[in-house]
Amino acid sequence: MSKELRVILSGGGTGGHIYPAIAIANEIKNRFPNASILFVGAKDRMEMQKVPKAGYEIVGLWISGIQRRLTLSNLLFPIKLINSLWRSKKIIKKFKPDIVIGTGGFASGPLLRMAASMKIPTLLQEQNSFPGITNKWLSKKAHKICVAYDHMERFFPKEKIVKTGNPVRQDLLMIDGKRDQGIMKYNLDPEKKTILVIGGSLGARRINQLIEKELSFFAEKDVQVLWQCGKLYYDDYRLYSDQKKVQVHQFLDTMDLAYAVADLIVSRAGASSVSELCIVAKPTVFIPSPNVAEDHQTKNAKAIVDQKGAVMLKENELDERFRPTISEIVESKEIQVKLSEAIKKIALPNATSDIVDEIEKIIEHKS
């Protein structure tokens, strides 16, 4: 590729859309150090902070999703959409990208739609096993759609689909041999089993309530708990931290070490978490959030459970099934090994590289 590569990436609203976009940008920069990369996000969403922290420029559109009830935001939606399409056209004309990439989220809708209408190639990266409205809408005009699950032809044109998996942080590909480091970092007892609890960056209220209720059960089982409760809930639960048996953290800044020390993981089933957990390959219990659009998390978890790679407990089953499920896994080496081996088979560790291969093919074909 002789001329300087110019790429616009758009993804946001949640970490699940932002981090894959940043991982793709990093891989592009790795291959093409002179590439110019611009991010487009939704104003007032977390991408406006996270992307500059990762070292990239971002511009914001005045756009938000449609709420499920009648709100002022819904009434403003047509105006926001027209404004965002007009602004997207100006951004594209000024930046002159070779390709526009969308990883989901509100802002990617108007941006990729406008790029397609201006005859600029677009690539979608769909993290979930059940796509959202935006990516379904964009798929008709996209050149390629990179997915993480099988059977996605139910939603997208079959000839455009490439199964690549979801981009994950590079440090997670190499957690073998980091257990001792993790034990030291988190001040854990190397002789005891460790349960890692992850509720997402903001936290998960129902999971936090469950862990609080089950602390005596964990003590009875003689397991230690590394509990990431999220920043919204840290003040409520920090008092349970006793440095050895239970550790409460707002955020885990070294996820590779947290995964390395875990014998069992209890987690939500957001798309990026599921992809990470497949690569980490530890026995996992998914507790999907029932409050996300189109029940994505239950579908993501079910795709793994159907291949015997994890156990799923729905929120309404926790009171009766949580204790027996955890006991069974913690006490059986055979179950632990079976779960680990099955989930590892589903992992797609080269996702980021494979997605950028597809981007290269599109650009070479265009030129």
Among 3.40.50.2000, 1.10.3720.10, 2.60.120.1140, 2.160.10.10, name the CATH number for the domain at 6-167+349-366.
Answer: 3.40.50.2000
Dihedral sign for Cα 24, 30, 35, 39, please. positive
Fold classified for 171-346: Rossmann fold (3.40.50)
Highest mean pLDDT out of 67-81, 112-126, 200-214: 112-126
Q: Is the pLDDT confidence value at 350 over 60?
A: yes
Q: Is the pLDDT confidence value at 75 over 60?
A: yes
pTM of this structure: 0.85
Least confident range of 20-34, 113-127, 234-248: 234-248
| pLDDT at position 12 | 79
Cα–Cα distance measured from residue 222 to residue 211, given in angstroms and rounded to the nearest whole number: 15
Encoded tokens for 353: 């590289």
Higher-confidence residue of 83 and 147: namely: 147
Task: Let me know the angle formed at the C-alpha of 276 by 323 and 233, rounded to the nearest 5 degrees.
Answer: 55
| pLDDT at position 367 | 66
Same CATH topology for 6-167+349-366 and 171-346: the answer is yes
Q: What value does the mean pLDDT take over residues 103-107?
A: 84
Give the number of other CB atoms < 10 A from CB of residue 191.
7
Q: Is the pLDDT confidence value at 153 over 90?
A: yes
In the chain, where are the structural domains located?
Answer: 6-167+349-366, 171-346
Radius of gyration of the chain (CA): 21
| Mean per-residue pLDDT of the chain | 90
Least confident range of 171-180, 259-268, 297-306: 171-180
Q: What value does the mean pLDDT take over residues 25-49?
A: 91
CA nearest neighbour of 258 among 273, 269, 270 = 273
The residues near 357 (Cβ < 8 Å, ≥ 6 apart) are none
Q: What value does the mean pLDDT take over residues 54-70?
A: 77
Cα–Cα distance measured from residue 322 to residue 320, given in angstroms and rounded to the nearest whole number: 6
Cα–Cα distance measured from residue 56 to residue 35, given in angstroms and rounded to the nearest whole number: 12
Q: What value does the mean pLDDT take over residues 95-115?
A: 92
Dihedral sign for Cα 69, 44, 201, 123, please. positive
Rounded to 10°, the helix 333-346/318-331 angle is: 100
| pLDDT at position 266 | 97
Q: How far is CA 46 from the centre of its chain?
A: 14
